[in-house]
């Protein structure tokens, strides 16, 4: 049943299910990506049911017009729920763009797998989203963070092995440019780390080999040696105090504590360490294509955002160092 009480035709429901299965198992999208696409697409189905007053069928999905899609985006913006105590501002352009991308993904799949091409989808452009620059930590702050994680007054207040764990995770994020999910998916079969590099499966199932600095290998190997819990070879290496898999929320909370203890900016998140990894390599003459491979970006345009950060860094250095910069 749809949210409006109208039955969802079986053929449309089957297409939805098969598309989500394709996203998860063939495209190998992350679970959070599949969940976000599913929620956006279900919003589209609910909108169509209310918009047409009829059960949603495959024929109805194929008969949409550009006006239908634009009306859907307008309704999504209008239906945004404000946070308590805040005025209603609607969904951001970035969120609307993702909603449209979710719908487009379904229709691209429908064309490839069912031979049903819907021209209207290509005729609607997403609203322009502001280009945000990565906000990495600087070198000194990154070093202070790693020292703090293993110190007596920093990081976790639990047993010594938990400090080694936190140091190892932060070292992987900054020293290898990993995403949180990639670091937390590391298994005991990967340790002890050495000079051979670390094989990572990232977004979209893309695989890459990331070189491992000796200091990062030492941190991860030290944690693995101290870990008191028995962990199967193919289970996540990083564990919580009681032995369960460590969650991304722990790493986020760790960075939140670090911001308060070290006076780091609000932009100091776990992902900021990945930004710092890329930006600091670029500052020191690293090749953009190499950074793309190290980060596992599918498109060079994603990596090129770091050139704007690098240009800003160079201009700041010029302004502070050139003898005539202040004249």
- Residues 130-167 have pLDDT tens digits of 665 556 677 888 888 888 887 766 655 678 899 999 99
For residue 156 the two structure tokens come to 């976790």
**Across residues 22-47, what is the average pLDDT?**
89
- pTM equals 0.61
Give yes or no: 163 in active site: no
- The pLDDT score that the predictor gives to residue 88 is 46
Sequence-separated (6 or more) residues with CB below 8 Å from residue 315: none
What is the SS3 assignment for 200?
strand
User: Does residue 275 carry a catalytic annotation?
Assistant: no
Average pLDDT estimate for 167-177: 91
Give percent helix, percent strand, percent coil of the chain, each to the nearest 5: 60, 5, 40
| Catalytic (active site) residue 297 | yes
Q: Which of 27, 259, 271, 313 is catalytic?
A: 271
Q: Does residue 326 sit in helix, strand or coil? A: coil
Q: What is the mean pLDDT of residues 87-111?
A: 82
Q: What is the mean pLDDT of residues 8-34?
A: 84
- 306 catalytic? Reply is yes
Compute the distance between CA of residue 142 and CA of residue 130 in angstroms, rounded to an integer.
27
Determine which one of 98, 239, 280, 297 is catalytic: 297
pLDDT-derived band at 306 (thresholds 50, 70, 90) equals: low
Distance CA 228, CA 239 (A): 10
Q: Count how many Cα atoms sit within 13 Å of the Cα of residue 68 in the half-sphere of its side chain.
A: 21
More confident residue, 5 or 10: 10
Q: Specify whether 46 is catalytic.
A: no
Mean pLDDT computed over 303-307: 66
The pLDDT tens digits for 310-324 are 555 545 544 554 454
Point out the catalytic residue in the list 51, 104, 203, 283: 203
Q: Is the pLDDT assigned to residue 180 strictly greater than 60?
A: yes
Q: What is the pLDDT of residue 310?
A: 57
Q: Which of 323, 278, 269 is nearest to 304 (CA)?
A: 278
**223-246 per-position pLDDT tens digit:** 999 999 988 888 999 999 989 999
Given the residues 16, 46, 76, 179, select the one marked as catalytic. 179
Tell me the Ramachandran region of residue 254: left when phi exceeds 0, alpha when psi lies from -120 to 50, beta otherwise.
Answer: alpha
Are the C-beta atoms of 282 and 304 separated by less than 8 Å?
A: no
Residue 271 catalytic?
Answer: yes
CA distance 283 to 293: 17
Cα–Cα separations (whole angstroms), residue 24 to 38, 98, 203: 11, 17, 11
Domains and CATH numbers, the chain: 10-123 (1.10.150.130), 139-320 (1.10.443.10)
Where does the pLDDT of residue 42 fall: very low under 50, low under 70, confident under 90, or very high at 90 and above? very high
From 98, 274, 275, 280, the catalytic residue: 274
Selection from 16-30, 153-167, 268-282 with the highest mean pLDDT: 16-30
Residue 187 or 283, more confident: 187
Mean predicted confidence (pLDDT) in 266-278: 85
- Count other C-beta atoms under 10 Å from residue 114's C-beta: 14
Catalytic residue among 37, 107, 174, 306: 306
Q: Answer yes or no: is pLDDT of 2 > 50.
A: no
Give the pLDDT score at 161: 92
pLDDT tens-digit series, residues 109-135: 999 998 888 999 989 888 776 665 556
Which has the higher per-residue pLDDT, 64 or 303? 64
Give how far Cα 220 sits from Cα of 165, 172, 302, 313, Å: 8, 8, 29, 31
Question: Where is pLDDT greater, at 89 or 6?
Answer: 89
Nearest to 22 by CA among 98, 121, 112, 115: 112
Whether residue 40 has pLDDT greater than 90: yes
């Amino acid at each position: 049943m749809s949210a409006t009480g109208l039955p969802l035709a079986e053929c449309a429901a089957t297409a939805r299910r098969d598309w989500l299965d394709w996203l998860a198992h063939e495209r190998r999208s992350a679970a959070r990506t599949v969940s976000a696409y599913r929620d956006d697409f279900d919003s589209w189905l609910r909108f169509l049911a209310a918009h047409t007053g009829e059960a949603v069928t495959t024929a109805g999905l194929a008969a949409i017009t550009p006006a239908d899609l634009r009306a859907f985006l307008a309704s999504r913006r209008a239906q945004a729920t404000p946070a308590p105590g805040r005025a209603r501002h609607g969904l951001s352009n970035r969120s609307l763009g993702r909603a449209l991308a979710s719908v487009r993904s379904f229709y691209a799949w429908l064309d490839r797998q069912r031979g049903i091409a819907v021209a209207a989808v290509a005729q609607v452009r997403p609203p322009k989203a502001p280009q945000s620059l990565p906000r990495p930590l600087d070198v000194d702050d990154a070093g202070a963070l790693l020292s703090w994680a293993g110190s007596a007054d920093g990081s976790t207040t639990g047993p010594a092995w938990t400090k080694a764990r936190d140091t190892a995770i932060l070292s992987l994020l900054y020293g290898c440019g990993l995403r949180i999910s990639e670091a937390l998916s590391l298994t005991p079969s990967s340790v002890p780390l050495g000079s051979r590099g670390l094989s990572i499966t990232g977004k979209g199932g893309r695989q890459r080999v990331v070189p491992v600095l000796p200091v990062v290998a030492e941190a991860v190997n030290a944690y693995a040696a101290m870990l008191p819990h028995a962990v199967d070879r193919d289970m996540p290496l990083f564990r919580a105090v009681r032995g369960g898999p460590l969650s991304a929320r722990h790493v986020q909370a760790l960075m939140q504590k670090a911001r308060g203890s070290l006076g780091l900016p609000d932009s100091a998140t776990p992902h900021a360490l990945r930004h710092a990894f890329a930006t600091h390599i670029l500052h020191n003459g690293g090749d953009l294509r190499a950074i793309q491979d190290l980060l596992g970006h599918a498109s060079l345009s994603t990596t090129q955002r770091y050139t704007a950060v690098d240009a800003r860094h160079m201009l700041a250095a010029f302004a502070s160092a050139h003898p005539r910069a202040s004249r």
